[in-house]
Amino acid sequence: MPQFQRSFAVPCPSQVLHFFIFLVVLGVSIETVLAASVIYILDANGGDKSAITLNGSQPVISYYDRNTQALKVAFCGDEACAALTPNSTKTIDTTGKFYTSAVTVINDNPVIAYGDWANADLKVAACSDALCSGHITITTVDPNLNLFSHISMAVLAGNPIISYHGGSQDLMLAACNDPGCTSTTVTPVDTLGDVGVSGAIMVLNGNPIIAYDDFVNADLKVAACNNPACTSATITVVDTTGSVGSWISMTAINSNPIISYDSALPTGLKVAACTHPACTSATITTLDAISPTGTSIDVINGLPVIAYGGSTSLGYPPLKLATCHDVSCTSSTLTTLTGLVDSGKLPAIANLNNYPAISYFDPKNNQLRFYFAGEVAPPILVPLAIAIVVIAFLVVLLAIWYRRKTNPVRLQRQSDA
C-alpha cells in the first residue's frame, strides 16, 4: 500500500539573501515615506501671520496668537521642529492687537518688527538672548502705521531695515541705526497714491529694494533704492495686468529679484522674474489659476520655490508648494502639502539645508504648524524602520529552524518497498 511521508524543502541561501534584501528595501521605504516630510503643531491655540528665519539651522518663528491677541515667538529645538526647546514659545508683547510680523536674527538674537492694530504703531522687539528669555527692548518706530500694513524686514550693515505702509498711505522705509532699532531714520519711498499695503524688502548690491502694491491702480511696483537710507529710488511699474500686487514676497537669483504675488482679476499665483537688479523689466508667469491666500518665496537648490495658501472656494485652503523648473520660474511643479484633516494659509518659507521649511496657519484647526521636507526624521522613525527589518528577519530564521526541526510542510508520496 502506498505510504506518505512529510518532508520539508529548505530554502537555499540565495532565497534567504533575496528575502533579506526585500526586508531591507521595505524598511528603508517605510522610513523614507514616514520621514520624507513632517508636519508639527507648534501652537495648538492659534498662530496666525507667522514669519520665519533661521538661527544657525534652527527655525525661529514669530506669530500672532489669535486667542490671546499676543505677539509670540516659537523656537525649534531641531531642524524639523520635531522638538521645541524647553523655552519653546515666548510671549513678546500683549499691549495691542498685532496684524503682521517680520523676524530676523542679529548677533544670534531675534529681532521682530510688527504692527500694533490697537495703537496704529510700527514696533520693533529686540531680544537680549537667543531664546528671548531675558530682557526684551520694545521700541515704537513709527506711531503712524496704516492698519493692515504688511511689514517686511531685512538686514543692512548689521541693522534692520523695515518697509511698511505709513499713515499717509505711503510706502515707507525705516532704517534702524542700531541692531535693536532703538533709533531710526524714516523715509517716504513712494507717495503717489495709496501704495505699500503689501510689500517685501531685501538688500541687493548694498542698497534696499522693495516690491510693493499700488492699491489704487492694482499694480505691482518695485522701488530700487539708490542709497542705504533710500532717500531716492528708481521706481518701476512691473505688472499692470488685471488687479495684482497683494501677498508679495521677494528673493533674488544672480542679483536679480524674483517676486511672488497674487492676481485677483484674473485669479492666479504669479511670479515676476526681474531681468535687471533694479527690476526695470521682468518675465511674468502665472503658475496657478487660483487666487492664493498668502505667498512666500525662497531659493532652494538654485531655483525659486513658493509656498502659498490654496483656494478657499471649497472651504479651508490647502497649503501648496510651487517648485520652479528654471531660474525665471516660467514653469513649475505644483504640490498640495496638507490633507483632509488640516489646511494652510499665510505661509512663510525658509531654505533649511536645501529643503523647504514652512510655518503656516491652519485655519481649520486654529493652529500654528510647521512643515519640513528634509531628511530629518522624528527620532522614532529610523529605529522603527530598523526594528521592522530585524524582527522580520529573525522571524524568518525562526521559521526555518522550526521547520527543519519538525519537518512539517509537504507530503511526498513514496511507494512500498
pLDDT of the residue at 341: 78
Q: 352 pLDDT band (50/70/90 cuts)?
A: very high
CA 172 to CA 230: how far, in whole Å? 10
pLDDT of the residue at 6: 45
CA 311 to CA 410: how far, in whole Å? 61
Q: Which segment of 127-141, 289-303, 305-319, 357-371 scores lowest on mean pLDDT?
A: 305-319
| pTM score | 0.82
**Mean pLDDT of the 363-388 span:** 69
Decide which of 376 and 85 is more confident: 85
Asked if pLDDT for residue 221 goes beyond 90, the answer is yes
pLDDT of the residue at 415: 43
pLDDT of the residue at 39: 85
Q: Residues for the chain: how many in total? A: 417
CA 394 to CA 392: how far, in whole Å? 5
- pLDDT tens digits, 261-274: 999 988 899 999 99
Asked if pLDDT for residue 210 goes beyond 60, the answer is yes
pLDDT of the residue at 23: 56
Reported for 125-129, long-range contacts at CB under 8 A and 24+ positions apart, including other chains, are: 125/71, 125/92, 125/93, 126/179, 126/180, 126/181, 126/182, 127/73
DSSP state of 289: S
Q: 218 pLDDT band (50/70/90 cuts)?
A: very high
Mean pLDDT of the chain: 85
Asked if pLDDT for residue 156 goes beyond 80, the answer is yes
**Mean pLDDT of the 273-297 span:** 96
Asked if pLDDT for residue 282 goes beyond 50, the answer is yes
Assigned C-alpha cell, 397: 530564521
pLDDT of the residue at 18: 59
CA 181 to CA 166: how far, in whole Å? 18
**Mean pLDDT of the 45-69 span:** 90
pLDDT of the residue at 339: 78
- pLDDT tens digits, 245-261: 999 999 999 999 999 99
**Would you say 297 and 249 are in contact if contact means Cβ atoms under 8 Å apart?**
yes
**Mean pLDDT of the 222-236 span:** 97
pLDDT of the residue at 350: 97
Domain regions of the chain by residue span: 3-31+385-414, 46-372
**Would you say 229 and 181 are in contact if contact means Cβ atoms under 8 Å apart?**
no
Q: 20 pLDDT band (50/70/90 cuts)?
A: low
Decide which of 416 and 315 is more confident: 315
Of residues 332, 331, 336, 303, the one with CA closest to residue 317: 336
Q: Percent of the chain, pLDDT > 70? A: 80
pLDDT of the residue at 45: 83
Q: Which segment of 33-37, 144-148, 201-205, 322-326 scores lowest on mean pLDDT?
A: 33-37
CATH code at 46-372: 2.130.10.10
Q: 413 pLDDT band (50/70/90 cuts)?
A: very low
pLDDT of the residue at 233: 98
**Mean pLDDT of the 196-205 span:** 96
CA 250 to CA 347: how far, in whole Å? 14
